Copies of this chain bind each other. A is one copy, B any other.
Amino acid sequence: VRAACNFPAVPTADPFSGIFSHGPVAALVDGTSWTQAMLDFEAGLARACAGVGLIPPEAAAAITAACRVDQFDVATIGHEAGAGGNPAIPLVSALRGRVPDEFALYVHRGATSQDVIDTAMMLVARRALTVILSDVARLATSAAALVEPHRRTVMHGRTLLQQAVPVTFGLKAAGWLTAVQHARAALERAASTEPALQFGGAAGTLAALGDNGMRVAEALAEELGLPLPTLPWHTDRTRVTLLAGPLAAMVGVLGKIARDIELLAQNEVAEVTTGRGGGSSAMPHKRNPVQAVAVVACALRVPGPLATLHAAMLQEHERAAGAWHAEWEPFSELMRLAGSAVSWSAEMLEGLQVNPERMRANLDAAGDFMMAESVVAGLGMPGARELVDGALARAVAAESSLREALLATPDFPWSAEELDAELDPAAYLGVTQVFIKRALTAYEHDEESGG
């Protein structure tokens, strides 16, 4: 998927790549891949022009043959991009130098730099999103696989970082799954509808192609497998932000899951362990939840480039004086962070070890205070809350249990047996099983229709 032709990934001198360039996406959005995508545009344009008879077929063949990134010095092109403010100018110049002299004239026919770079951005995005969505599918499978085995694994529900009322780990995993599926559907839709050809020439009229503009545009869209948009979108950046939004939302979902896992993996909680614990340079005993840490780090970073892309929407007239340029690196960064986060998350869920015994032990250790809501709801009578509040207060003061305090309450209407039934966490799960079934059914439905 990297590009039309194979070329070797160049490892960059990046000491942080293991965290933020994890998985296959980073290489798909790096400078080499961008440049190949620009060359793909130029090659496609040459073939499109040949197809409508504007340039000789041999020129198109020669240009196509030359459009291999391994034949170019990307660093030099990057350096020279400063002169005109974008890399298309030196790249086109270098490309002209790599085709027979008589064909140089046919390179970049009718296009403007932004046509090259925007289309490249879309090609890069589509290639990256294909991989990201494939990893998301893997991740969803892993999340789904956690649900059924743990549908009755009772554990603390926690709200505001305090123990609340019981849930099951299956329900928690169903929540993760449902969130991933929600963001995934939006991302799939965006990935299929937003990428489009950019081809408008200097000011969006294709004037340099005379009457041939639409024919070339259609042929080029066909060559590159990208939809032909209603209009060139040089300064309408809607599709950039509509792609970025669901991608950022997906990373947010993964950040939520990773945060949960970090919290559940705390030694004091110990309800899950990540499969691959990271070592410490100082402490031999540490088993850091590195996968979750990496996902959280990616998630904390995503709002920044997303905001930049939105801020960059105010693009002047026919082509912008800075705002367009501001998109390139944040867009790549967002893709790279999302690719890393998805890749880390898939591994994290695949290797997650769940500890039902510890979940049960944590429930037991908590005493019966958290069942207070259950008793209030079970009593279902006026004054129930006050009665339970009073018993709770006495239990706290006496360091005893809610059970004892309630049974010692004069007007308490239940027998010990009735109360014990109400105090069983596993009996206070409401419609947990229904919810789990809804989540799995929705997932299975999506999978079938998605196939």
Contact = CB atoms under 8 A, between A and B. Distances in A.
Contacts of A450: none
Given A111-B282, A203-B165, A78 B289 contact: no
29 contacts: A11-B76, A12-B78, A13-B30, A13-B32, A13-B35, A13-B78, A15-B81, A19-B86, A83-B279, A84-B280, A104-B382, A159-B203, A159-B319, A161-B262, A161-B265, A162-B288, A167-B318, A172-B317, A175-B231, A178-B231, A202-B280, A207-B428, A208-B373, A208-B374, A213-B434, A214-B434, A267-B366, A285-B402, A293-B321
Interface in A1-59: 10-22, 30-32, 34-35, 38
Given A171-B204, A210-B377, 15 more contacts: A15-B34, A15-B77, A18-B78, A19-B325, A20-B329, A89-B281, A102-B382, A209-B377, A242-B246, A252-B313, A256-B314, A259-B316, A260-B317, A283-B370, A300-B326
B205 A429 contact: yes
Interface stretch (A135-143, A348-356, A435-443): A435-443
Interface string A69-88: 00000111111111111111
Which 7 A-B residue pairings sit nearest by Cβ, starting from the closest?
A157-B203, A296-B322, A18-B82, A252-B313, A245-B245, A18-B81, A207-B430
Interface in A346-402: 362, 366, 369-370, 372-374, 376-377, 381-382, 384-385, 388-389, 392, 402
Nearest to A190: B186
Contact of A13 (B10, B210, B303, B376): B10
A14 B78 contact: yes
The residue in A10, A34, A235 that gathers the most chain B C-beta atoms within 10 A of its C-beta is A235
A345 to B, nearest CB: 13
Nearest to A250: B238
Given A249-B242, A300-B308, A17 B289 contact: no
A219 interface: no
Main secondary structure of the interface of A (DSSP, over half): helix
A408 interface: no
Contact of A171 (B205, B266, B438): B205
A232 to B, nearest CB: 8
A203 B154 CA distance: 13
A135 to B, nearest CB: 15
Question: Which residue of A82, A186, A242, A370 has the most chain B CB atoms within 10 A of its CB atom?
Answer: A82
A208 B322 contact: no
A436 to B, nearest CB: 9
A78 B9 CA distance: 15
A335 interface: no
Interface residues of A, number: 189
Contacts of A203: 157-159, 164-167
A362 B365 CA distance: 14
B249 A241 contact: yes
Given A15-B77, A179-B236, A267-B162, A279 B157 contact: no
Contact of A279 (B89, B290, B373): B89
A84 B279 contact: yes
Given A208-B430, A310-B249, A14 B241 contact: no
A82 to B, nearest CB: 3
